[in-house]
Amino acid sequence: MKPSPRVRPPRRAVHGVLLLDKPLGLSSNDALQRVKRLYRAEKAGHTGTLDPLATGLLPLCFGAATKFSQVSLDADKRYLATLRLGQTTSTGDAEGQLLQQREVAVGRADLDAALLRFTGAIDQVPPMHSALKLDGRALYEYARQGVEVERAPRRVTVHRLEVVDWQAPTLVLDVGCSKGTYIRTLAQDLGEQLGCGAHLSALRRTASGALRVEDASSLDALEAMSEAERDALLQPADALLAGWPRVQLPDDEAGRFLTGLRRRVSLADAAAVRVYGPREAFLGSAHIKAGELIADRLLSPAEVAGCTDSLK
């Protein structure tokens, strides 16, 4: 007698943002899929890839919140980066083959001077072992075939580069940077500046915009919770827009705004605002130009209702 097929619980509409502390060894997508199954969510996405060898903050968006995931993707990031000086690898991190080993004769004055060199606006050449596309293929696909292609430098900004711990040959840095900054490349370039080479031996994302890893939950903890306990961890969809100017619309204006109609407002121009209707219902994002409120990303009426109900 054949065993009965396993019946999967039905998926449901879930709206909100979960802050996950991604564990070591899982890709961002693997972590997303495991959490999505736990929530039985119909729709979910993450807001910025972390390599399997990296841990830390990975904001996951469900339902209506996925419409605003780009905000988190574009946000500044903060990392705790551990560098192994004196060793360069084929990938720029601990996963690659050791290419060269050099003596580490670096004093604190040398280190401080080098860190200053990499603070502010800098140019980076993207690593071959990255997901950046060239002719429709990720760079890491070329790298796996032993092919190195020319990459144009990209301008990024390092806002913060401070020593947390320095016990040669290990250096731990607190890094605050713009989107698109490759910490692996930063480690390699810093090592060459110091004359000894380096690779990234560990990486932990500690912040993305206003979101902090201290508020994140581990995968093990989520798996041990009931569904109600997991739901209680969800932040509202507009958590990704924290800090944006707020516009409150009266009942009659809120419905018109959701249809995409422009509204006249007595407010100064703004590149990005978050818009609310009755019962503190989040309606979407917009911008203000010449006294007009112009919608950018709107929630559907069903999503508005779902988000509002989740806050009760």
Average pLDDT of the residues in 37-54: 91
Stretch among 182-186, 229-233, 249-253 having the lowest mean pLDDT: 249-253
Domains of the chain: 16-75+211-237 (3.30.2350.10), 82-198 (3.30.2350.10), 244-310 (2.30.130.10)
Beta bridge partners of 287: 294
Q: Cβ-count burial of 38 within 10 angstroms (0-12 exposed, 13-18 middle, 19+ buried)? A: middle
Distance, CA of 93 to CA of 278 (rounded, Å): 51
pLDDT at 279: 87
Higher-confidence residue: 309 or 219?
Answer: 219
Q: How confident is the model at residue 153 (pLDDT cuts 50, 70, 90)?
A: confident
> Residue 11 pLDDT more than 80?
yes
- Two tokens, residue 91: 């990938």
Distance, CA of 7 to CA of 198 (rounded, Å): 51
pLDDT at 235: 95
Higher-confidence residue: 143 or 95?
Answer: 95
pLDDT in tens, 187-207: 999 999 999 999 999 999 999
Nearest residue to 237 (alpha-carbon basis) of 20, 58, 59: 59
Residue with tokens 């609310």: 276
> Residue 74 pLDDT more than 90?
yes
Average pLDDT of the residues in 245-249: 94
Kind of pairing, strands 263-264 and 211-212? Answer: unpaired
Q: How confident is the model at residue 252 (pLDDT cuts 50, 70, 90)?
A: confident
pLDDT at 9: 79
Distance, CA of 25 to CA of 264 (rounded, Å): 51
> Which member of 51, 93, 189, 238 is catalytic?
51
pLDDT more than 90, % of the chain: 73
Task: Give residue 94's identity as a one-letter amino acid code.
Answer: A
Count CA atoms closer than 13 A to 138's CA, side-chain side.
6
pLDDT in tens, 123-147: 998 776 666 666 667 666 766 766 6
Mean pLDDT of the chain: 90
Q: Is 220 a catalytic residue?
A: no
Q: How confident is the model at residue 159 (pLDDT cuts 50, 70, 90)?
A: very high
> Residue 311 pLDDT more than 60?
no
Higher-confidence residue: 152 or 310?
Answer: 152
Inter-CA distances, 201 with 84, 90, 174, 208, 293, Å? 6, 13, 14, 21, 48
Kind of pairing, strands 270-276 and 292-298? Answer: unpaired
> Residue 37 pLDDT more than 90?
yes
pLDDT at 171: 97
